[in-house]
Homo-oligomer: A and B are copies of this chain.
Amino acid sequence: MQTAEIADRIAWAVDGLEVEIPTWGFVNTGTRFRVFPQAGVPRDVTEKLEDAGAVARYTGVAKRVAIHIPWDRTDDWGALRATAAGHGLAIGAVNSNTFQDEAYRLGSLCSPFPASRRMAVEHIVECCAIVAATGSDVLKVWLADGTNYPGQDDLRDRRRRLVETLTEVYAALPPGARLVLEYKLFEPSFYATDVADWGQALSVVRRLGERASVCVDIGHHAPSVNIEQIVASLLAEGRLGAFDLNDKQYGDDDLIVGSIDPYRLFRICHEMVGALRDDEDPAAQRCARETVWMLDQCHNLEPKLPAIIRSVMNLQEAVAKALLVDRDALLAAQRAGDILGGNAILADAYATDVRPALAELRTARGLPASPFRAYLASGEEERRATARVGGNAASW
C-alpha cells in the first residue's frame, strides 16, 4: 500500500480520535520508595492546563483535559473552564479522590464507618456539581477501597454499602452526564479490592442506571487476562465508558501506553474500531463513540511532556493500524474458519508502518510531522524548567 492510500484509511486517527490528558500526568510522581522530582513541574492547575495546552498544540488530538478533585480545586470553575478554552482545551472527566483523607483509612464508599461513607458521598456529589460547572459530561470514580486482611471486613457488607452510596451519587449526576466506575485488581488494597474487576464494576453499574458504565485501565488486571476481550464484552453490553491508557508488565506499572505490549494495544483498538463501524450493534457503536480515551500514566523517571506526547503518538499508531484492518476479508476468513487467514489479516495490518502516513496527515493539518521531535527541538522543555523555579511543585 502506498502512503497516500494508507493516509486515506487512517485519517480518523488524526481527525476523529480525541485523547484526554489528565492534569495529574504533569506532576511529580513516584513509588512508595521515592518520588524523584523533575524540573519544570507545574505548581498549580493553571500551569497544568498550560502543559495540557502544549500537548494539544503539538499533537492536535489531545484537546480534552481531565481534572482531579481536590488536586485541581478552585473557587471559580468558570474561570478554569475559560483558561482551558484559552489553550484550546475542553474539560473532560471530573475525577473524585476518596483515598487521601484520614477518614478513608478503611475505605470511602465501602467503609465500615458511616461518617466516612457520608463524607465520600458528599465529596463525589460535589464532583457532580463540578461536572456541571466545568461543562464536562463525565464523572469518573475510582475507589481505593478494599481490605488488607481476611476478616478485616465483611465482603458482602462492603458491596452493599457500595451499591447504596453509589446510588446516592448517581442521583446527583447532572442531566446528560455519565458516571464511569473504574476497577483495579489491587493496590493500595492488598487482600480484597472492592471493585476489583470488570465483573464487579459491571454488576454494580447495572444497578445504578443507564448512564453508568465501566472504565478499563490497562494496568488494573490480573496477569494473563485478555483485556481486549473485556473491552469487546463491555461494548456488547453497552457499558464501556472510558479507558485509562498506559502499559504494564507487572502490576499497575503506569508506563507509556504501547511501550511494553503494543500488539495488545492494537488489539484493543481493533475492538473499538470494529464497534465504531458496526451499524448492526447500535449499543456497542454508541458506547464506542462515547468512550473516553484518557492517558493515565506516571512518568516517574522520564520527562513528562515528551513522554505524554510520545504516548499520544503511540496510541495514534495503534488506532491507525486498527483502521487498516481489512474487515471484509477478516469476516470472510472468520466465517470460513480460516484460522491462519484471519490471524494474518490482523497481523498484516499491525506490521504496516503507519508513521509516514501519520506524518503526512499531520503536516497537511499544520501539525509537526513528529510532535515528539518537534517538542524536543522547540526549547519549550528548557523554558518551562527555567520559568518554574520556586514554589511547590505539584504532586499527588
Per-position 1/0 for A135-162, Cβ under 8 A of B: 0000000001001111111111101100
Out of B159, B317, B347, which one reaches A233, CB within 8 Å? B159
The answer to whether B150 and A343 have CB atoms under 8 Å apart is yes
Out of B228, B232, B301, B343, which one reaches A159, CB within 8 Å? B232
Q: Which A164-223 residues have C-beta < 8 A from chain B?
A: 185-188, 190-193, 196-200, 202-203, 221-223
The answer to whether B100 and A148 have CB atoms under 8 Å apart is no
Q: List residues of chain B with CB within 8 A of the CB of A276.
A: none
State the A residues within 8 Å of B (CB): 29-34, 36, 99-100, 102, 104-106, 112-113, 144, 147-157, 159-160, 185-188, 190-193, 196-200, 202-203, 221-226, 228-230, 232-233, 235-237, 248-251, 253-256, 259-264, 267, 271, 274-275, 278, 281, 284, 300-303, 306-307, 310, 317, 330-331, 333-337, 339-340, 342-347, 350-353, 355, 372, 396
**22 A-B pairs (CB sep. < 8 Å):** A31-B187, A33-B396, A34-B144, A36-B105, A106-B301, A112-B337, A150-B263, A151-B333, A151-B334, A156-B235, A185-B225, A187-B251, A188-B300, A190-B250, A190-B255, A196-B229, A199-B230, A203-B203, A222-B225, A250-B251, A303-B340, A310-B344
Identify 6 new A-B residue pairs, CB closer than 8 A, beyond the known A149-B342, A203-B237.
A34-B104, A148-B301, A186-B251, A191-B226, A197-B197, A199-B233
